[in-house]
Structure 1
Amino acid sequence: MKLVGDRDLIGRTVADAMPEIPRQGFTALLDHVWETKEAFHGESLPVLIERPDAQEPDLRYVDFIHQPIKNNRDEVMGIYVQGIDITERKSFENKLHILAHESAHRVKNILAMVNAIVTLTLRSQKDKESAIAAVSARLQAISAAQTTLLDGGTSLQSDLESLIKNALAVAVDTFGNITISGPKTNISEKAGLPLALIFHELMTNAIKYGALLKSTGKISITWFKDDDDMIHIHWSEIGTVNSAPPEKKGFGSALIQRGLSFDKRNKVDVNYNEQGVSCVIQLAAAL
């Protein structure tokens, strides 16, 4: 009933009961079935449904069957019409598609991070035993960080400094050229997980392409809260090997840009300049 709502359909034409339907070409489809005597099957067709109590039309997705009803002389006497609202299924499929892309992206990032960290760790150790111990410790740290991100954020700290240090723990321990400083600041529970994912993404990009790719690179993370209870976080990379913006924005860029979009006051701005990559995050403070 989500398609028609509480409209009275009995004894009325489609054009009279639902005038928005002919405007979208569906009546023409019926005419085509009548004229050609051939059935029509349509999958996932978008249909805009107008509601009396809504300013904007409701977008639904429908599987249609238009089957001509013929007599024994092969004349069309009517058309059997069936429409199945698959909007919820379509939404679920879209979410699965996004989840698949996110999973593939995260796996690639983890492998790139493991490769960079293991390589640097092996170079910095003097003997086999210490190298094995250091690599094992850092792999465990990576595993712990992934568990934190995947548990829905329940173990993420509300303190901004603790959250940043937890998200960047592996990089701080491995590279050592990362500074984190700012006043004690609490963040909302809702912002915890997306903010941790953003820092994790920035860290991974720095390892793969940015300041952490070379020993001369540095990263500085600072923040402050203004009089309007807005938190301003600055991520600055210096000594980036390639600070040119990517030719094509991938899933990671979308994650950084949209992660905090649940509040219209939140903003994320990523810049690429001669000094390196910088990211400025504007975040509504916890109440």
Structure 2
Amino acid sequence: METAPAAKDTAKDNEALRGEIERLAELFRQAPGFIAVMRGPDLVFEIVNAAFEQVVGYRDLIGRPVREAMSEIEGQGFFELLDEVYQTGQPFVGRQMPMRLQKQREGPIEEAYFDFVYQPIRDRNGKVTGIFLEGSDVTDRVWAEEYQQLLINELNHRVKNTLATVQSIVSQTLRHATSQVEARNAIEQRLAALSRTHDMLIRENWKGAEIRELVAQTLEPFQSAAHKRFNVAGPELKLSSRMALDLSLALHELATNAVKYGALSNDAGRIEVVWSVDGSTDPPRLRLRWTEEGGPPAHPPNRKGFGSRLLERSLARDLEGEVAIEFRPRGVVCTIETPIIA
């Protein structure tokens, strides 16, 4: 007996419908964003896709009310939002909403950020029967934006500090220079020293500088090609960017004065730069000693110059350190002590 044409058509329609439902279910399951369907006033999970399962740590969800299945988000306002959407029929859209969530089975509660929408589901009579949830985990994006803002704030802070240092260099140099040529040369040398230190800090992503490299780089322009002028010794120590900038400028000024009046004003003079760390204090303290010998006898200056002011401002005041300068017959001795602050 042959099947009636109408029955054949019905069978084909049913098969096509099943195929379409399966395709939609597969698209639902593979959707890159997380999706869930909750039904009834208790908002029982009816359907979830793979992305949602991953976000919540592959816990058992189907057939369980949201308050039971995701109890750790109690008190964060999300259950109240779901209730409001169910009762009012008005959707809710959240952007970069923070949530403390257990993202792994038996794992800790983690802070995450989500973009999502709670969309009411209605029956044919317009009555709300459930909520459709769709969204995405934007935690990495939020953290990236926060880090970018942190970098911008840090850059602004550093630029302001650098401009203040440059302003101080220029104003102090012009105030004490005896000629325009002297002022120009001094400003160029001091800014060059500042620039070299900046280059070193940039290579280290502004995470600080190793003191031995800092001392060597700062004193390199004053080093004689014919014979060694500096004896440098001390333990390894990472300085903060602020300490590195202030210390490099201080060493530059000490070396500049040594060229003009001290151990570097002749061919016989030598300079020893030695430092140590006192770990018995909190925070530990750096003690650096600059000792000149072999040059002309040192005499106190008639007036306080840029170098002395820099030592007092940058090291003694800004870094809460202590600076002592002695003018001995064998040469200048400068002792710098300052807390090692990260």
Normalised TM-score (structure 1): 0.61
2:204 corresponds to 1:152: yes
Aligned pairs, how many? 223
Instruction: Please state how far the C-alpha of 1:164 moved relative to its aligned partner.
Output: 5.5
Confirm or deny that 1:163 pairs with 2:222: no
Aligned pairs for 1:119-158 within 5 A: 119-152=171-204, 158=210
Residue number among 3, 8, 12 corresponding to 2:64 in the alignment: 12
Task: Report the counterpart of residue 223 of structure 1 in structure 2.
Answer: 276
Change beyond 3 A, Cα 1:61–1:30: same
Moved more, 160-169 or 37-46: 160-169
1:41 matches 2:126: no
| Paired AA for residue 184 in structure 1 | G
Maintained 8 Å contact 2:93/2:117: yes
Q: For the Cα contact (< 8 Å) 2:96–2:115, is it kept in 1?
A: yes
Name the structure 1 match of 2:242: 198
Asked whether 1:21 is paired with 2:73, we answer: yes
- Cα gap change, 1:157 to 1:42, in 2 (>3 Å): closer
Partner SS, residue 133 of structure 2: strand
Instruction: Flag the structure with larger Rg.
Output: 2
Bigger CA drift: 107-116 or 128-137? 128-137
Note if 1:280 corresponds to 2:339. Answer: yes
Deviations 1:218-277 (A, max 9, x none): xxx9633559xx964259x99669x99xxxxxxxx9xxxxxxxxxxxxxxxx7699xxxx
Q: Following TM superposition, by how much is the alpha carbon of 1:60 offset from its aligned partner in structure 2, in angstroms?
A: 0.8
Query: Closer, same or farther in 2 for the Cα pair 1:98/1:40, shift >3 Å?
Result: same
**1:102 has 2:149 as partner:** no
Q: Name the counterpart of 1:89.
A: 141
Report the AA paired with residue 189 of structure 2.
Answer: A
Residues 174-219 of structure 1, C-alpha deviations (whole Å, 9 max, x = no match)? xxxxxxx9951123xxxx4xx2413047669x9xxxxxxxxxxxxx
Matched with 1:214 is: none
Change (3 A) 1:82 1:108: same
Q: How much does 1:40 deviate?
A: 0.8
User: Does the CA-based 8 Å contact 1:182-1:224 persist in structure 2?
Assistant: no
For the residue of structure 2 that corresponds to 1:83, the secondary structure is strand
Give the partner amino acid of 1:85: D
Cα distance change, pair 80–199 in 1 and its aligned pair in 2 (3 A): same
Identity of aligned residues (%): 30
Deviations 1:108-151 (A, max 9, x none): 11111111101122233322223222222222222222121112
User: Within the alignment, does 1:186 sit opposite 2:236 as a pair?
Assistant: yes
> Do the aligned partners of 1:22 and 1:28 also contact (CA within 8 Å) in 2?
no
The whole-number CA distance in structure 1 between the counterparts of 2:312 and 2:190 is: 24
| Separation in structure 2 between the aligned mates of residue 157 and residue 84 of structure 1, nearest angstrom | 41
SS of the residue aligned with 2:140? helix
Structure 1 residues 48 and 120: CA distance shift in structure 2, 3 A: same
Residue 3 of structure 1: how far off its partner (Å): 2.6
Please list every run of 5 or more consecutive structure 1 residues that lacks an aligned counterpart in the other structure: 170-180, 207-220, 245-252, 254-269
Equivalents in 2 of 1:130, 1:271: separation in Å? Answer: 32
Cα displacement string for residues 50-80 of structure 1 (whole angstroms, at most 9, x for unaligned residues): 34443x4111111221111234533213211
**2: CA distance between counterparts of 1:127 and 1:23?**
72
1:233 is aligned, of 286, 289, 298, to 286
CA distance in 1, matches of 2:68, 2:245: 54
One-letter amino acid of the counterpart of residue 138, structure 2: I
